[in-house]
Chain A
């Protein structure tokens, strides 16, 4: 599936190993939060992945101790109307200080991408928007009314010289 990150379309060389499947011998594996914690606690044997996929009900606080070793967190949107992933990303970036990749996967539409980017996502896996559409979506608004996980100063600061 097309993957857009850093302003370009890139190859996706990560593999998601679903619960109950064999963990492949690869450096770039992601697993569910439950499986990651089971591996961490030794309840399941196998190589320790450096990627985790969060479902909407998962609590990102459970990942906090392990964030320095993670390179990829996928946030799954089974239905694009389920907005819990936006809060998960904000927490990972702003409260727990995670700086690796946060990738939106699942039902990811062009019209969510601006808000995803603001919430801390930096990669988008979607069949529903090509590179040019993702880039357009990211540029749709040139100002923001409130601080979030992305860079730009909110207008209430710019109005006073920020």
Chain B
């Protein structure tokens, strides 16, 4: 993975010093809260319902064991013993005191971490495929370009006070696991005649007005991609709406201008760049950064494993876990393991300090020191030998991390909701846990197969309800929580927005309604291999909607 050199280290420590000064000036009254707000936000500090929240960047979702152990230590010493992994591949701590934050940032800097630009109206953490570097279906490892984009966007002087936040996601695989079409900018790395380049999508997003991104350029060569991004950012910075924060995201600019006119403006700005304005990244720097992401030296293994087969035969629960939580690796004899942070009954995405330490230990012992955070709020060990899977599972299961549910119905994406967030209208964690309970029987869940349920506690859509196969959106009606159900969303390469199917349901009616929809699917599918989303697309929403509301 990437390692800081003297320049990176100096910038991060100077940032800690700067923020320490800003906190002091706030506490002395030299800065008003209004003036302090954008500054603290650009260091990941939110004011939530109960306390300040600190969001720490995990660039493109990659962690070393040492970094994960440091996060565990921060959870223990400054929070209540747990952290919350987010859909942006970051981690949040919900109970950190403001005066402790400079110290926490110092501890992070010691392990090459920071909270820079994790919130505020600036370019946020660049996210990517959580199987990057391991997946069979990628054309190149996207992480090097994510790191290049991280450096380019860090402290960018022109784009620190944008109309609104700005999120970039990158994939290099045909199957999009990074949800690039619902990001402000989505980049798909492709190769054309031996040249690496980027298919550029702009203006996707969720929130109260969801949009699927427009394809703005089918191929920008890698030597020009940063210049192209500068053109996109400048057009947005100059012409994005600033009169209404709900219309300030780039998706509104693209839709108000129309795709053709928006593309014309970006191309015009790009063409107007003078030679002296070009970033002109030296090839040696691109090569230097790529070298950090060289594949690990995996020991040669046979394509199948006797230990694995024997353990599967002996333990049906382990066998089920291997059917759900493994992703094919590009090297024979290995797999990428999903460590589910969605056990039944636990707030999705939460991990305790000791769980983080266990995953760090396992990564060191069995996983070539590599850990990822997925946008579905799970942890990944991308390189594990098939021979070692029984040991890895045994340790995970003993720590409550053995749920066999990756991309299954209980592997929900869920925002913190009204239990933590001061934007929320409704609680999301309790309703998610109630739905989970209905599907808690592992054999039943396995029979249902791949099905994404995403839950948000308000229209800001942090729980990605627009792109769940089934979305659940919490709303407030005269002081009572109601839940609207959406059907047919997806975040992958066939990205689509779910549609609200009818009137909202009371919290206590949601689990049974979802159960009816799932049962309807099971009676209608052509075979157990036809996924929920495919049956839904084949039959249309109407009959599913009838099942949802068929009370009693």
A residues within 8 Å of B by Cβ?
A: 56, 80-84, 86-87, 90, 94-95, 109, 111-112, 114-116, 118-119, 140-148, 155-160
6 contacts between A and B (CB under 8 A): A83-B237, A90-B234, A112-B161, A145-B151, A156-B281, A160-B284
Q: Select from chain A the residue with minimum beta-carbon distance to B279.
A: A147
Known: A94-B274, A158-B7. A82 touches B154 (CB 8 A): no
Q: State which residues 1-53 of B face A: CB under 8 Å.
A: 5, 7-8, 10-11, 14-15, 17-18, 22, 35, 38-39
**B120-158 interface bits toward A, Cβ cutoff 8 Å, 1 = contact, 0 = none:** 010000000000000000000000000000011011111
Known: A141-B155, A158-B7, A159-B285. A115 touches B277 (CB 8 A): no
A145–B281 alpha-carbon span in the complex (Å): 11
B10 pairs with A84, CB closer than 8 A: no
A81 pairs with B151, CB closer than 8 A: no
Q: A87-B238, A94-B274, A141-B11 are in contact. List 10 more A-B contacts (CB 8 A).
A: A56-B242, A82-B161, A82-B242, A86-B157, A90-B234, A95-B272, A143-B11, A145-B154, A147-B279, A156-B151
Known: A81-B121, A94-B277, A111-B22. A159 touches B7 (CB 8 A): yes
Does B244 belong to the interface (CB within 8 Å)? no
Q: State which residues 216-261 of B face A: CB under 8 Å.
A: 234, 237-238, 242
A140 pairs with B151, CB closer than 8 A: no
Does B162 belong to the interface (CB within 8 Å)? yes
A80–B121 alpha-carbon span in the complex (Å): 12
A10–B81 alpha-carbon span in the complex (Å): 54
With a cutoff of 8 Å between Cβ atoms, the chain B residues found around residue A148 in the complex are 157-158
A83–B272 alpha-carbon span in the complex (Å): 21
B279 pairs with A146, CB closer than 8 A: yes
Known: A81-B38, A94-B274, A146-B152. A159 touches B288 (CB 8 A): yes
Q: Select from chain B the residue with minimum beta-carbon distance to A155.
A: B7
With a cutoff of 8 Å between Cβ atoms, the chain B residues found around residue A142 in the complex are 10, 14
Known: A87-B238, A95-B274, A143-B7. A81 touches B161 (CB 8 A): yes
The winner among A81, A90, A160 for most chain B CB atoms within 10 A is: A81
With a cutoff of 8 Å between Cβ atoms, the chain A residues found around residue B121 in the complex are 81, 83
With a cutoff of 8 Å between Cβ atoms, the chain A residues found around residue B151 in the complex are 145-146, 155-156
A112–B157 alpha-carbon span in the complex (Å): 9
In the complex, which of the residues B10, B17, B18, B157 contacts A118, with contact meaning CB atoms closer than 8 Å? Answer: B157
The winner among B5, B10, B22, B35 for most chain A CB atoms within 10 A is: B35
Does B194 belong to the interface (CB within 8 Å)? no
Known: A82-B242, A143-B10. A90 touches B161 (CB 8 A): no
B274 pairs with A80, CB closer than 8 A: no
Q: State which residues 244-296 of B face A: CB under 8 Å.
A: 272-274, 276-277, 279, 281-282, 284-285, 288
How many residues of chain B are within 8 Å of chain A by beta carbon? 40
In the complex, which of the residues B35, B156, B282 contacts A109, with contact meaning CB atoms closer than 8 Å? Answer: B35
Does B160 belong to the interface (CB within 8 Å)? yes
Q: Select from chain B the residue with minimum beta-carbon distance to A144.
A: B155
Known: A86-B237, A95-B272, A145-B151. A159 touches B158 (CB 8 A): no
B residues within 8 Å of A by Cβ?
A: 5, 7-8, 10-11, 14-15, 17-18, 22, 35, 38-39, 121, 151-152, 154-162, 234, 237-238, 242, 272-274, 276-277, 279, 281-282, 284-285, 288
A147–B155 alpha-carbon span in the complex (Å): 11
A112–B237 alpha-carbon span in the complex (Å): 16
Q: Select from chain A the residue with minimum beta-carbon distance to B5.
A: A159
Q: Select from chain A the residue with minimum beta-carbon distance to B17.
A: A140
Known: A82-B242, A140-B18. A115 touches B160 (CB 8 A): yes
A94–B276 alpha-carbon span in the complex (Å): 7
With a cutoff of 8 Å between Cβ atoms, the chain B residues found around residue A90 in the complex are 158, 234
Q: A63 → chain B, closest Cβ, in Å?
A: 15
B157 pairs with A119, CB closer than 8 A: yes
Q: B164 → chain A, closest Cβ, in Å?
A: 11
With a cutoff of 8 Å between Cβ atoms, the chain A residues found around residue B155 in the complex are 115, 141, 144-145
A95–B279 alpha-carbon span in the complex (Å): 14
With a cutoff of 8 Å between Cβ atoms, the chain B residues found around residue A83 in the complex are 121, 158-162, 237
With a cutoff of 8 Å between Cβ atoms, the chain B residues found around residue A146 in the complex are 151-152, 156, 279
With a cutoff of 8 Å between Cβ atoms, the chain B residues found around residue A156 in the complex are 151, 281-282, 285
Q: A53 → chain B, closest Cβ, in Å?
A: 18
The winner among A84, A141, A156, A157 for most chain B CB atoms within 10 A is: A156
A145–B160 alpha-carbon span in the complex (Å): 14
A84 pairs with B7, CB closer than 8 A: no
With a cutoff of 8 Å between Cβ atoms, the chain A residues found around residue B15 in the complex are 141
In the complex, which of the residues A84, A114, A116 contacts B237, with contact meaning CB atoms closer than 8 Å? Answer: A84
Known: A94-B276, A156-B285. A86 touches B158 (CB 8 A): yes
Q: B285 → chain A, closest Cβ, in Å?
A: 4
Known: A95-B274, A115-B160. A141 touches B282 (CB 8 A): no
A86–B288 alpha-carbon span in the complex (Å): 31
Known: A81-B38, A87-B234, A141-B155. A160 touches B282 (CB 8 A): yes
Q: A79 → chain B, closest Cβ, in Å?
A: 9
A10–B5 alpha-carbon span in the complex (Å): 40
Q: B229 → chain A, closest Cβ, in Å?
A: 11
Q: A144 → chain B, closest Cβ, in Å?
A: 7
Q: Select from chain B the residue with minimum beta-carbon distance to A90.
A: B158
B282 pairs with A115, CB closer than 8 A: no
A7–B498 alpha-carbon span in the complex (Å): 57
Q: Select from chain A the residue with minimum beta-carbon distance to B155.
A: A145
